[in-house]
Structure 1
Amino acid sequence: MDHRAGIVPRTPLTALAAIVAAIVAAAVTASCDGTTGPSSFEPGPLGVVAVRRGEAVKIRSLLAMTGAPSLGVAARRGVELAVRDVATVRGRNVELGDAVDSMCSPEGGRAGAREIVADPQIVGVIGTSCSAAAVAASPVISQAGYVMVAPSTTSPLLTSDLAGNPNPDHHPGYFRVANNDLYQARAVSNFAYNQLGLSRIVTLHDGDPYTTALVKAFGDAFRALGGEVPVATGIRKGQTDMTSVLAEFAAAGPGGIFFPLFRPEGSPFAAQARAFDGLEGVTLISGAALLVSEFLAEPQSEGIYFAGPESDYSGNVNEVTGKSAEAVIAAYEAAYGEHPSTPYWALAYDATTLLLDAVRAIAVEEGGRLYLDRSALRARIGAVGLRGLVGEVSCDAFGDCGTGRQNVYHHTDSSVTDVEQLPVVYRFVP
């Protein structure tokens, strides 16, 4: 057993070497860390983290502290509050460490994941904020045998088609509390076609796995209802001049535009669409990436419909911590001096408690060490859910753990920037 690294090796020693190693290890651990001797614990195929007395159970967050900070900062705070409320696992403190920035990009996700798996004592990860980062981070995390639980990555590419088939970027060990965007696509298409009476909608993406998969799923669902999508096009990340795409949209004569962009592109698009000849009166619909306080404060946000997760968690209690949504929001405001800017803070809180509750459940105390088997941890998260601040969280075989419920909000007043205060005009329940 490598007591310096805290990892149980998977390759057995010869009988004589094992006896010698056990004697030496017992002497060293008894004198140095208070452990009582060798262990009979047998690691699974992905290895084991061994936590000595006095050491902490280590997890990390991999969130968009830059790139999409409106999502990442609130989520990180939700993680911090959950770690504070859980506090310990079998007598060991939980160590969150500094935030690792995924930057909402493939490069950031990959680099952050590599940084995390370089530490063999880290048990699991909360992340990422963005699907673009998750596509690159998930294989790194998976191949290292770790688990990652995401609060806001929603692209169907990361899990499945919800019909029992994995999608290309699904990797074992990846879970998410956020909903698969196939649910959002159904919610938006049903609302637009059946409630607003729109039969002709154009769509816009920015080339990212989140936006491209979502507009494709929306197009499929909208056409299945009888609607038309005459133009489905894209812009570049960082593009702010929308003239050419708006001209293409105006020529198509749509009743609505579905543009689930992030704020750097979504904000100028909304402003320019409002003033573009030929698009007067066109209904604008966006997704959860723009459903943040910073964009809601901008005048061009008025009149837009937004599809996103539920935001009213009143009455819900997280069964792991015993904290109600009201209590955690009060703690958030006390700790950070402001109200959460996005509903994803609560999903991050629940994702963290889902991970830590599973760690506690699979932990084996023996010989003064706490053994955390990585295979058992994956199996536990996949098999046992929880009642969280967002409701019932339960994972399927491909890591989708969300409730599937979606709201459509109508924003009419830019002085109202709290998502919880927006009128809900449509509720989708799968």
Structure 2
Amino acid sequence: MKGKLWTVLAVMVVLSLGLAACGPKPTAAPTEAPTPVPAKETPTAPPAAAVEVEDEWGVIKIAKGDPIKIGFAAGLSGAGIDVLGLDEQRGAELAVKDRPEVLGFKVELQVEDSQCNAEGGQTVATKFVADPQIVAVVGHMCSSSCTPAATTYEQNHYTMVSPSCTAPSLTAPDTGTKAFNRVCWNDKIQGPAAAKFVYETLGVRKVATVHDGSPYAEQLGQEFTKGFEALGGEVVAAEAVNVGDTDMRPVLTRIKAAEPELIYFSAFVAEGGYMRSQMADVGMEDVIFMGADGIKADEFIKAAGDAAEGVYASAADFAEAGADLPKFLEAYEKEYGEKPIAPFHAHAYDATMVILNAIEQVGVVDGEGNLLIGRKALNEAIRGTKGYKGLTGTITCDEYGDCGAGSVAVSMVKNGEWVPAEAPAVAEEGPPDLGGREVVVAVENAYPPFNFIDEATGEAIGWDYD
């Protein structure tokens, strides 16, 4: 019995060990799962800050990809006028070629023919102010066109920079506008400078003046007269012709009766050519003829023919021009196949650059890539131009819009081309023509002469009859 008991116990122990081996394995102590690393986020640009430009004259908005439109106005038609305007257009084009973009926006010229009269100027100004994308205007060319245009631009808060409108009234304190600026001189400078040349260099004391009724011609004639009379000269005749006149003999006949030594003609090429070429028809071929920038063009030489020889004209003094002028003149000839054909090509270049400089100064590109330009800010930046080194000299605007260097030089036609003026040759005085008559010279010798003795030799060496 005892043996069986032990057997049973042994079997139970074995069974219990087997069951333990076959039972479930103990569960491991729980552990925390690792925290997942978040994916690296691609940084995003902060939203563009809103750009606001406020301007009491209004803001020009040029969409991204659109050009900066600059108006250009000059006389591009009419005999003797077209050549002056074409020359200015070329100057502006070369400026854009040298500076094709501002603030990442392409620059584009919109060219219009403002002719050289009030109607043309008013028509073009009205067209420009009807286009809100026209930023500013290079022009106009003639004072008769600039005068009504300046009023229109003033009323609509547009700004103009003229290469060649020289009438004093355009910048006078009582008649000027905020819209008008010029990089040429004021005829308050040119008139007296021409008068000084006539009086002091040519030695003329009696002159006749002729204008064509335009603001430029009439006011320049007035400034010349004031300067000439202040020097002591006399204006013996003051006449006017009409634009388009071709027969100048009636006017010249009246002038001849006053016996002037010089005619000062303050108008333009076509009428000037007729007047100069017809002076011989009334016996005035020996009277000096002088004009101003209105006739200083190769077209005048063609119009007057052989009579152009010896004609004088005042215009810009490029001897005082900027250092880049020679490079510009070379580019002009390369681009257009001829030398400049009139006086104001470099002034048109400078007028364009003054505007582009101001756009760069005040223009703002917003978050959407649009260019915003305040019209009053632009006007003040243009009028605030100081010390700009232009082709024509240093450009600094005063409070009335006179920005040009204001230096004037006189040229003359010699051998069929314009050259720096020379004073007329003065014949050397010789012995008078006695017509074959005999001359007897009486000499008085009231005192005995002195005979000089050489101290070394004791010999006579000469006589003194004093």
Superposed pair shares fold, TM > 0.5: yes
Give the corresponding residue for 1:325: 325
Give the corresponding residue for 2:392: 390
Deviation at 1:410, TM superposition (A): 2.0
Deviation at 1:199, TM superposition (A): 1.3
Give the corresponding residue for 1:155: 167
Give the corresponding residue for 1:26: none
Give the corresponding residue for 2:443: none
Give the corresponding residue for 1:342: 342
Deviation at 1:276, TM superposition (A): 1.9
1:129 and 1:103 mapped to 2: Cα distance?
8
Conserved? CA contact 2:192–2:226, under 8 Å: no
Give the corresponding residue for 1:86: 99
Deviation at 1:40, TM superposition (A): 4.8
The TM-score normalised by the length of structure 1 is: 0.83
Deviation at 1:328, TM superposition (A): 2.0
Q: Deviations over 1:371-412 (max 9, x none)?
A: 111111111111123101111011111111111100011212
1:256 and 1:397 mapped to 2: Cα distance?
37
Conserved? CA contact 1:158–1:167, under 8 Å: no
Conserved? CA contact 1:131–1:210, under 8 Å: yes
Q: Could you say which structure has the larger radius of gyration? A: 2
Deviation at 1:312, TM superposition (A): 5.0
Matched AA of 1:423: P
Deviation at 1:121, TM superposition (A): 1.2
1:77 and 1:369 mapped to 2: Cα distance?
30
Deviation at 1:216, TM superposition (A): 0.9
1:378 and 1:364 mapped to 2: Cα distance?
15
The TM-score normalised by the length of structure 2 is: 0.77
Conserved? CA contact 2:166–2:185, under 8 Å: yes
2:179 and 2:349 mapped to 1: Cα distance?
19
Q: Deviations over 1:251-294 (max 9, x none)?
A: 111111101221221111001113322x3422111111110011
Gaps of 5+ in 1: 1-35, 161-165, 318-323
Gaps of 5+ in 2: 1-46, 424-466
5 Å-filtered alignment, 1:381-420, equals 381-385=382-386, 386-414=388-416, 416=417, 419=418
| 2:127 paired residue among 115, 120, 139 | 115
What is the DSSP-based 3-state SS (H/G/I as helix, E as strand, rest coil) of the residue aligned with 2:294?
helix
Give the corresponding residue for 1:22: none
Give the corresponding residue for 1:14: none
Deviation at 1:37, TM superposition (A): 6.9
1:250 and 1:237 mapped to 2: Cα distance?
22
Give the corresponding residue for 1:423: 420
2:53 and 2:149 mapped to 1: Cα distance?
29
5 Å-filtered alignment, 1:232-381, equals 232-277=238-283, 279-297=284-302, 298-312=305-319, 316-317=322-323, 324-367=324-367, 368-381=369-382
| 2:89 paired residue among 55, 58, 76 | 76
2:82 and 2:403 mapped to 1: Cα distance?
24
Matched AA of 1:54: G
Conserved? CA contact 1:313–1:389, under 8 Å: no
Deviation at 1:167, TM superposition (A): 4.7
2:422 and 2:170 mapped to 1: Cα distance?
29
Conserved? CA contact 1:177–1:400, under 8 Å: yes
1:56 and 1:397 mapped to 2: Cα distance?
30
Deviation at 1:355, TM superposition (A): 0.6
1:39 and 1:70 mapped to 2: Cα distance?
48
What is the DSSP-based 3-state SS (H/G/I as helix, E as strand, rest coil) of the residue aligned with 2:71?
strand
Conserved? CA contact 2:160–2:181, under 8 Å: yes
What is the DSSP-based 3-state SS (H/G/I as helix, E as strand, rest coil) of the residue aligned with 1:78?
helix
1:156 and 1:362 mapped to 2: Cα distance?
29
Conserved? CA contact 2:218–2:266, under 8 Å: no
Deviation at 1:326, TM superposition (A): 2.4
Range 266-275 or range 200-209, more displaced:
266-275
1:327 and 1:246 mapped to 2: Cα distance?
43
Deviation at 1:310, TM superposition (A): 2.1
Matched AA of 2:333: E
**1:201 aligned onto 2:236:** no
1:329 and 1:280 mapped to 2: Cα distance?
35
Matched AA of 1:296: I
Matched AA of 2:354: L
Matched AA of 2:372: Y
Give the corresponding residue for 1:211: 217
What is the DSSP-based 3-state SS (H/G/I as helix, E as strand, rest coil) of the residue aligned with 2:239?
strand
Structure 1 residues 147, 236: CA separation in 2 closer, same or farther (over 3 Å shift)?
same
Structure 1 residues 313, 96: CA separation in 2 closer, same or farther (over 3 Å shift)?
farther
What is the DSSP-based 3-state SS (H/G/I as helix, E as strand, rest coil) of the residue aligned with 1:50?
strand
1:42 and 1:332 mapped to 2: Cα distance?
39
The number of residues matched between the two structures is 371
1:344 and 1:312 mapped to 2: Cα distance?
15
Matched AA of 2:310: G
Give the corresponding residue for 1:144: 156
Give the corresponding residue for 2:28: none
1:151 and 1:78 mapped to 2: Cα distance?
10
What is the DSSP-based 3-state SS (H/G/I as helix, E as strand, rest coil) of the residue aligned with 1:74?
helix
